[in-house]
């Protein structure tokens, strides 16, 4: 799910920048064409829909898994401010130990909770932009008008890009995590009984 999500986000962000360049929100901001996906805006929109369906299916599977197994509660809660400040301090001093890779530190918990919330908002704003007539009631209730929905969608995208940057930076500070992202992670002790191997009987 992690790598499927990474591919989907790459497609969504690159194609979204292509769509944005066709009708900018901020006149001073244009994304370099080398960083966009699609030859023109309509082509970028097709890529955006492709990424949307990958992200939607993967997101449904991820959220279902997280809720059904209790992973969200176990991995993301609780979050204490003192732990957040301590983790930030360790990160700035390049002393982020993170000895137990099966547990998130406070900053990771905060970032994951935040990006999940941002993900919900970006989906809602995206639906309103995609189908403003069909979702007119949700559009007016949540965002007021079409342009506000575009602005919220853009700000959520910016937050996700920021999350990706921090996520990669934290992974580089603890290189062992990069190996576990590929191999599936370290072995987890489930707390069950461990039976020592018995010696072979003498002949």
- Residue at 129 is within a domain: yes
* 3-class DSSP state of 47: helix
Residues 152 and 80 in one domain: yes
Residues 152 and 90 in one domain: yes
Same domain, 47 and 87: no
Indicate whether 65 belongs to any domain: yes
Q: Flag whether 100 is in a domain.
A: yes
Per-residue pLDDT of the chain (203 residues; tens, 9 = 90+): 888 988 999 999 999 999 999 999 999 999 999 999 998 989 999 999 999 999 989 989 988 998 999 988 888 888 888 888 887 887 777 666 666 666 787 888 888 899 989 999 999 999 999 999 999 999 999 999 999 999 999 999 999 999 998 888 877 777 777 776 777 666 655 444 544 445 555 54
80 and 65 both lie in a single domain: no
pLDDT score of 173: 73
Closest CA to 161 of 3, 1, 6, 4: 6
Q: Which of 10, 41, 69 is the last residue of a domain?
A: 69
The reply to whether 199 falls in a domain is no
pLDDT of res. 99: 62
Same domain for 96 and 181, yes or no, is yes
Residue 42 and residue 86 in one domain: no
Both 83 and 98 in one domain: the answer is: yes
Whether 19 contacts 45, CB under 8 Å: yes
Regarding whether 98 and 39 lie in a shared domain, the answer is no
Q: Confirm whether 203 is domain-assigned.
A: no
* Residues 62 and 134 grouped into a single domain: no
Looking at the structure, tell me whether residues 180 and 100 fall in a common domain. Answer: yes
Eight-state DSSP code of residue 196: P
CB distance 79 to 108 below 8 Å: no
pLDDT for 33 equals: 93
- Two structure tokens written together for 107: 């900053």
Number of domains in the chain: 2
What local confidence, expressed as pLDDT, does residue 145 receive? 93
Does 192 reside within a domain? no
Q: Is residue 112 part of a domain?
A: yes
| Domain boundary residue, one of 69, 102, 119 | 69
Between CA 197 and CA 177 the distance in angstroms is 31
| Residue-number span of the structural domain to which 40 is assigned | 1-69
Q: Are residues 39 and 119 in the same domain?
A: no
Q: Residues 41, 89: one domain?
A: no
């Amino acid at each position: 799910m992690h790598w499927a999500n990474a591919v989907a986000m790459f497609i969504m962000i690159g194609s979204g920048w292509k769509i944005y360049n066709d009708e900018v929100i901020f006149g001073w901001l244009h994304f370099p064409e080398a960083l966009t996906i699609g030859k023109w805006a309509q082509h970028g929109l097709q890529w955006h829909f492709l990424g949307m369906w990958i992200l939607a299916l993967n997101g449904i599977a991820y959220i279902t898994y997280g809720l059904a197994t209790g992973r969200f509660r176990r991995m993301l809660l609780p979050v204490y401010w003192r732990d957040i400040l301590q983790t930030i301090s360790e990160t700035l001093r390049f002393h982020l130990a993170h000895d137990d890779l099966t547990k998130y530190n406070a900053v990771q918990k905060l970032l994951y909770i935040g990006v999940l919330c941002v993900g919900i908002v970006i989906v809602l704003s995206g639906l309103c932009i995609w189908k403003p007539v069909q979702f007119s009631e949700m559009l007016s209730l949540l965002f007021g008008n079409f342009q506000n929905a575009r602005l919220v969608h853009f700000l959520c995208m910016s937050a996700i890009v920021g999350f990706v940057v921090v996520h990669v930076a934290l992974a580089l500070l603890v290189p062992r995590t990069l190996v576990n992202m590929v191999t599936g992670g370290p072995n987890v002790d489930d707390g069950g009984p461990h039976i020592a191997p018995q010696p072979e009987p003498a002949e």
